[in-house]
Amino acid sequence: MDFTTLFLSHGSPMMVLEDTPTRQFLMDLGRTMRKPPAVIVASAHWQTPEPVLGFAAWPDKINDIYGFPAELYQLAYAPPGAPGVAAQAADRLGAACRRDPGAGIDHSIWSVMSLMWPEADVPVVPMSVQPRAGAAHHYFLGRRLAPLVADGVLVIGSGAATHNLEDYFRRKVAAGIEPEVAEFTDWLAETAGRGDVAALLDYRARAPHAGHNHPTEEHLLPFFVALGAAAHGEAARLHRGVDSGVLAMDAYGFR
């Protein structure tokens, strides 16, 4: 597989337990791609005013979830950290980047990694997003990480292709994809596929139903980190799925 970075929709943490197409996709992805020496994962659920990287040698699993079965809280997933890679990344991000020696891995990280690499043998560096900073800010953070990607480090953005939780909890049933979701995700796939970075960075104005599908931006911002860190900025939609008709589970590989 020749993709240099990934964007993965993590959805509900129940994906770890339930047999869903996205769960199977992530398991297959981990088996078929070359295992990287380390991953930097930009997490939609770690939100800070400035960029922060985790420097823990053994990051704790954070159970930032509520009301789920005990099995999820008891899940033992403990990959090593990669402080050396974190230091290189922090140097690339510059003085504005904060180094957190105690940062753990939240469910947007452990849910996808535990399916891709169940042996917990891929070192991980968690990375925060800045929800008020927008797409271009995160794209340029990714650009600064591109030299690490060239050296073999895998950058993953973990978020959601659409993330309107009001719609999700209102429906909460198996249903066909909502037209607003289909139009937005098709625009995203088409625009990313032709490598139109300018249009992607202006998605709030150009994409159909952007504000409806992302009332807040934090779950799409990891997409732009992965886009920026990629070698060429071109993308392919590797997986398409939807939960309850509104929560898109799409995944992208960037070249």
- Distance separating the N- and C-terminal Cα atoms of the chain: 10
**Structural domains of the chain in order of their starting residue, each with its CATH number:** 5-254 (3.40.830.10)
Estimate the crossing angle of helix 21-32 against helix 107-116, to 10 degrees.
60
Cα 177 to Cα 217: distance, rounded to the nearest angstrom:
21
* Under 8 Å between Cβ of 184 and 242: no
| 15-68 pLDDT per residue, tens | 999 999 999 999 999 999 999 999 999 999 999 999 999 999 999 999 999 899
Q: What is the pLDDT of residue 164?
A: 86
Beta-bridged to residue 254, according to DSSP, are 5, 235
Q: What is the pLDDT of residues 189-238, one digit of tens each?
A: 999 999 999 999 999 999 999 999 999 999 999 999 999 999 887 899 99
pLDDT in tens, 53-74: 999 999 999 999 989 999 999 9
Strand partners, 99: 53
* β 5-9/154-159 pair status: parallel
Of 181, 152, 179, 173, the closest CA to residue 246 belongs to 181
Say whether 2 sits in a helix, a strand or coil.
coil
Share of the chain above pLDDT 70, in %: 97
Distance CA 150, CA 229 (A): 9
